[in-house]
Structure 1
Amino acid sequence: MGRLFGTDGVRGVANADLTAELALGLSVAAAHVLAEAGTFEGHRPTAVVGRDPRASGEFLEAAVVAGLASAGVDVLRVGVLPTPAVAYLTGALGADLGVMLSASHNAMPDNGVKFFARGGHKLADELEDRIETVYEQHRTGEPWARPTGGGVGRVTDYAEGFDRYVAHLIAVLPNRLDGLKVVLDEAHGAASRVSPEAFARAGAEVITIGADPDGLNINDGCGSTHLDLLKAAVVEHGADLGIAHDGDADRCLAVDATGAEVDGDQILAVLALAMREAGQLRKDTVVGTVMSNLGFKIAMEREGIQLVQTAVGDRYVLESMKAEGYALGGEQSGHVIVLDHATTGDGTLTGLMLAARVAATGRTLAELAGVMQRLPQLLINVPDVDKSRVGTSPELAAAVAEAERELGFTGRVLLRQSGTEPLVRVMVEAADIDQARAVAERLADVVKSALG
């Protein structure tokens, strides 16, 4: 059996890859592993369980709740809420673990299971590995230890989770949003109620699109992976800005009043300056990934802010932030982590903080985002090659060195192997898009010949 856990939980086609049996078994295994690790410390454990609105989430939630309760864990079922809400409530309620059922920005047939440890933090790799091992041992015949009588877990619906999370979002805002008109695209996802409520309570005039989930339409032509509807709505309504989330609302991308996209790098740049001004940007440092646009790095250097870059994936950004005590980090895709207020990417919080900066400064989002100039960035995926040799091929190394000499200080080259597919990703940035395309295509040809 291959590794079940990816970079963001266990994910696959619901009822095919991710079955009720698998969800139940993983939940029981997680309870046993956390008990062995001393997480429960002799007390009766509690779990927070939430989901996005996918139809498959209904039976998968039932399986997870059944698994946890059968292992002696009391369950607080919070219903449809964003991933960061489940993480927040896990910490705020003193729960021992949290479980979110979502496949984030994936299409509706997929679903996923994400686990959070006490405090609302993602599980360490070694705990995920141990959960897989224990699950596999049971699947192949080793019986569970099962409580009976009063030892089984009790299940309670915790409807207060919605208001408690929204109140948290409002409480951490630096200022109100009165006078702003904002369009919100909720991707027919988990934030369809939360985000409009939070923006309205903060004082904004709110227009919503993509906020009518039916269990089947999540991420369908809308949300952070499909911005055209939001761009049109912002211009049509004369809004100050637009905010787009993905299915579980751990991402945020934005659109300015002209309909131009504001990506995760630009959002990070705006928030970094705002937090430094407020004395909240610890060590004057922001964390990004190796995919952060070179324009972001140039802008931060100009502003006297250090950029620390990690491997691609919000979990690596978070690891760096926690290890070094940094306050702000994120990815170009819109995963933004404000560690003083969230333990994971929180799209609603990010959108609120971005809008708060617009309201506080009286400047347009386009003006604020103009602190950085995005350099043209071209990405080519080269399939069916031996990706393991991307770092050892002399022919490829020579081609990269030649490309870097050609680009000089105005561009860069990044080659990396895909974590999930037999692909090598070729990324080239340059001041001119035609130059970026020419260099990327040339390198892609070398990858094919050298690694094919």
Structure 2
Amino acid sequence: MSRKYFGTDGVRGEVGKAPITPEFVLKLGYAAGRVLVDRERHAHPTVLIGKDTRISGYMLEAALQAGFTAAGVNVLLTGPLPTPGIAYLTRALRLSAGVMISASHNPFQDNGIKFFAEGGRKLDDAVELDIEAMLETPLSTLSSRELGRARRIEGAAERYIEFCKSTFPNERDLKGLKLVVDCANGATYHIAPKVFHELGAEVVLIGAEPNGFNINDKVGATYSKTLQAAVLQHEADYGVALDGDGDRLIMVDRNGQVYDGDMLIYTIAKARAAKGELKGGVVGTVMTNMAMELALKARGIAFGRAKVGDRYVLEMLHAEGWEVGGEASGHVLCLDKHSTGDGIISALQVLKSLAELDMTLADIGRDWQPFPQTLINVRLAGQDWKAASAGPLAEAEAALAGRGRVVLRPSGTEPVVRVMVEADEADLAGRWARTIAAAIELAA
């Protein structure tokens, strides 16, 4: 059964346009609350609600709170807190669910609602379908005696800071390291600098002055130029860039070189394998660079590909019983440290790995160079893109056997199919990507 509202990571869109309106979000809170009450069958389950720094967070927080309490669910409000912080506190406080109001790396005009189940896990597909079904029923507020309560909790940020620090070895510290930390003017602005500073690093802080409108604006994990310039200006050892809700990580070395999620995941896996501490293998996605896969396999490390989206990486990690995985976009998962992707904790794991290997990111980067990729977005106008691409796709796969691959992926949010071709030669990748894209366009 397909989902109408939920994407790969909750419900997301432009504020003021369906579905991100106060009316819908109120109904979403009510529907999720009803599902919680029906599933748990006890009075007043409790949910935690956090948000990033978008101006629309105030409005959507109030709407969600009203919906949940109308359904008989108690609500705890944290104010601005990273998405992984909500996941952690949902588990630590033994709550029924956690909700994050954020559109992650998107601009401030967008917002979204992410859910965590009991234990800080991603919400199961079955629960999302139950919520969508409940959205189709009328909203019927409970009697006053049965309504939920809401209150703000104190110390949420401090608890999460201590949790992040606890994932770093007690016998190590960050003394002697100079770090530029870019918080994307988002939810980590009051968290990340304290974590790195209290572990001993000298911290230069950027992207930490949120005003409701500047989240992810020329800062953060999706815009590395500001961080690169700051690292060079301050002669720092590394730069750490997080995104608006704190679940992505990109790093920069002292030379201004950018390292994406693929290289950071590889660094963690290499260090763990060297110590005999890597449990199983590594999970990436269909978009993970083929050169990384070959480098891991050369070290005897198994590798698996999941669909795009950290929820699918999580599913495969759990199925295999492995712990390390993620995406090039910067979602890095270390399931022995946290139940979800966490940019701060991932950075600590990378820094720990480099110390154990006695290497720099530049040293690690010599292990493999990413294969060139060409990505073309083809707008669809009703054509059967699978049929149109079948011929050139087969030709491309035959030509690239052993030296590249092709990924065709429809967007989950717009009428677009993404054509990605990866090869050991840039010209080869570009030529086949253009050939396949042209075949789809001509079929319109």
TM-score, structure 2 as length reference: 0.95
State yes or no: 1:429 paired with 2:425.
no
State yes or no: 1:161 paired with 2:156.
yes
Closer, same or farther: CA 57–240 of 1 in aligned 2, 3 Å = same
Aligned AA (2:435): R
Q: C-alpha displacement at 1:366, in angstroms?
A: 1.3
Aligned AA (2:203): V
Q: C-alpha displacement at 1:228, in angstroms?
A: 0.4
In the alignment, is the contact (CA less than 8 A) between 1:289 and 1:312 conserved in 2?
yes
State yes or no: 1:381 paired with 2:377.
yes
Measured in 1, the distance between the counterparts of 2:129 and 2:3 equals 11
Measured in 2, the distance between the counterparts of 1:130 and 1:387 equals 32
Deviations 1:44-96 (A, max 9, x none): 41111100010100111111122222322222211100001001100010001
Q: C-alpha displacement at 1:15, in angstroms?
A: 2.8
Q: C-alpha displacement at 1:386, in angstroms?
A: 4.5
State yes or no: 1:400 paired with 2:400.
no
Q: C-alpha displacement at 1:371, in angstroms?
A: 2.7
Instruction: Report the counterpart of residue 327 of structure 1 in structure 2.
Output: 323
Q: C-alpha displacement at 1:438, in angstroms?
A: 1.9
Instruction: Report the counterpart of residue 5 of structure 2 in structure 1.
Output: 4
State yes or no: 1:30 paired with 2:32.
yes
Comparing 398-407 and 27-36, the one that deviates more: 398-407
Runs (5+) with no aligned partner, structure 2: none
Instruction: Report the counterpart of residue 188 of structure 1 in structure 2.
Output: 185
Closer, same or farther: CA 387–258 of 1 in aligned 2, 3 Å = farther
Measured in 1, the distance between the counterparts of 2:319 and 2:426 equals 37
Secondary structure of 2:181 counterpart? strand
State yes or no: 1:67 paired with 2:71.
no
Q: Which runs of 4+ in 1 moved over 6 A?
A: none
Aligned AA (1:416): R
Q: C-alpha displacement at 1:404, in angstroms?
A: 2.8
Measured in 2, the distance between the counterparts of 1:23 and 1:408 equals 48
Instruction: Report the counterpart of residue 97 of structure 2 in structure 1.
Output: 97
Measured in 1, the distance between the counterparts of 2:211 and 2:272 equals 38
Aligned AA (2:118): R
Closer, same or farther: CA 43–439 of 1 in aligned 2, 3 Å = same
Q: C-alpha displacement at 1:102, in angstroms?
A: 0.4
Measured in 1, the distance between the counterparts of 2:34 and 2:229 equals 50
State yes or no: 1:349 paired with 2:345.
yes
Instruction: Report the counterpart of residue 87 of structure 1 in structure 2.
Output: 87
| Identical pairs, percent | 45
Closer, same or farther: CA 387–230 of 1 in aligned 2, 3 Å = farther
Instruction: Report the counterpart of residue 312 of structure 2 in structure 1.
Output: 316
Instruction: Report the counterpart of residue 302 of structure 1 in structure 2.
Output: 298
Q: C-alpha displacement at 1:400, in angstroms?
A: 2.1
Deviations 1:3-62 (A, max 9, x none): 111111111122333112211111111111122123xx4254111110001010011111
Secondary structure of 1:4 counterpart? coil
In the alignment, is the contact (CA less than 8 A) between 2:271 and 2:356 conserved in 1?
no
Measured in 2, the distance between the counterparts of 1:45 and 1:429 equals 48
Instruction: Report the counterpart of residue 406 of structure 2 in structure 1.
Output: 413
Q: C-alpha displacement at 1:330, in angstroms?
A: 0.5
**Where does 1:213-292 land on structure 2 (aligned, <5 Å)?**
213-283=210-280, 285-292=281-288
Measured in 2, the distance between the counterparts of 1:425 and 1:374 equals 19
Comparing 199-208 and 408-417, the one that deviates more: 408-417
In the alignment, is the contact (CA less than 8 A) between 1:327 and 1:339 conserved in 2?
yes
Deviations 1:308-351 (A, max 9, x none): 10111111111111222110110110111111222221111111
Measured in 1, the distance between the counterparts of 2:389 and 2:63 equals 49
Deviations 1:173-206 (A, max 9, x none): 1332121111111110001111111111111111
Secondary structure of 2:13 counterpart? strand
Measured in 2, the distance between the counterparts of 1:388 and 1:3 equals 21
Measured in 1, the distance between the counterparts of 2:77 and 2:332 equals 26
In the alignment, is the contact (CA less than 8 A) between 2:3 and 2:132 conserved in 1?
no
Aligned AA (2:115): F
Instruction: Report the counterpart of residue 167 of structure 2 in structure 1.
Output: 172
In the alignment, is the contact (CA less than 8 A) between 1:186 and 1:247 conserved in 2?
yes
Q: C-alpha displacement at 1:387, in angstroms?
A: 6.2
Aligned AA (1:243): V
Q: CA RMSD in A?
A: 1.8
Measured in 1, the distance between the counterparts of 2:197 and 2:162 equals 12
Comparing 153-162 and 98-107, the one that deviates more: 153-162
Measured in 1, the distance between the counterparts of 2:389 and 2:13 equals 34
Runs (5+) with no aligned partner, structure 1: none
Aligned AA (1:23): V
TM-score, structure 1 as length reference: 0.93
Measured in 2, the distance between the counterparts of 1:73 and 1:280 equals 42
Measured in 2, the distance between the counterparts of 1:279 and 1:214 equals 46
Q: C-alpha displacement at 1:446, in angstroms?
A: 2.1
Aligned AA (1:218): I
Secondary structure of 1:111 counterpart? strand
Measured in 2, the distance between the counterparts of 1:170 and 1:130 equals 37
Aligned AA (2:412): G
In the alignment, is the contact (CA less than 8 A) between 1:271 and 1:354 conserved in 2?
yes
Aligned AA (2:377): N
Measured in 1, the distance between the counterparts of 2:411 and 2:22 equals 29
Instruction: Report the counterpart of residue 136 of structure 1 in structure 2.
Output: 136
In the alignment, is the contact (CA less than 8 A) between 2:76 and 2:152 conserved in 1?
yes
Secondary structure of 2:48 counterpart? strand
Measured in 1, the distance between the counterparts of 2:117 and 2:393 equals 42
Q: C-alpha displacement at 1:299, in angstroms?
A: 0.6
Aligned AA (1:9): G
Secondary structure of 1:296 counterpart? helix
Measured in 2, the distance between the counterparts of 1:188 and 1:226 equals 12
In the alignment, is the contact (CA less than 8 A) between 1:30 and 1:131 conserved in 2?
yes
Closer, same or farther: CA 272–147 of 1 in aligned 2, 3 Å = farther
Q: C-alpha displacement at 1:389, in angstroms?
A: 4.1
Aligned length: 440
Comparing 417-426 and 237-246, the one that deviates more: 417-426
In the alignment, is the contact (CA less than 8 A) between 2:168 and 2:349 conserved in 1?
yes
Measured in 2, the distance between the counterparts of 1:412 and 1:350 equals 28
In the alignment, is the contact (CA less than 8 A) between 1:270 and 1:369 conserved in 2?
no
Measured in 2, the distance between the counterparts of 1:242 and 1:4 equals 36
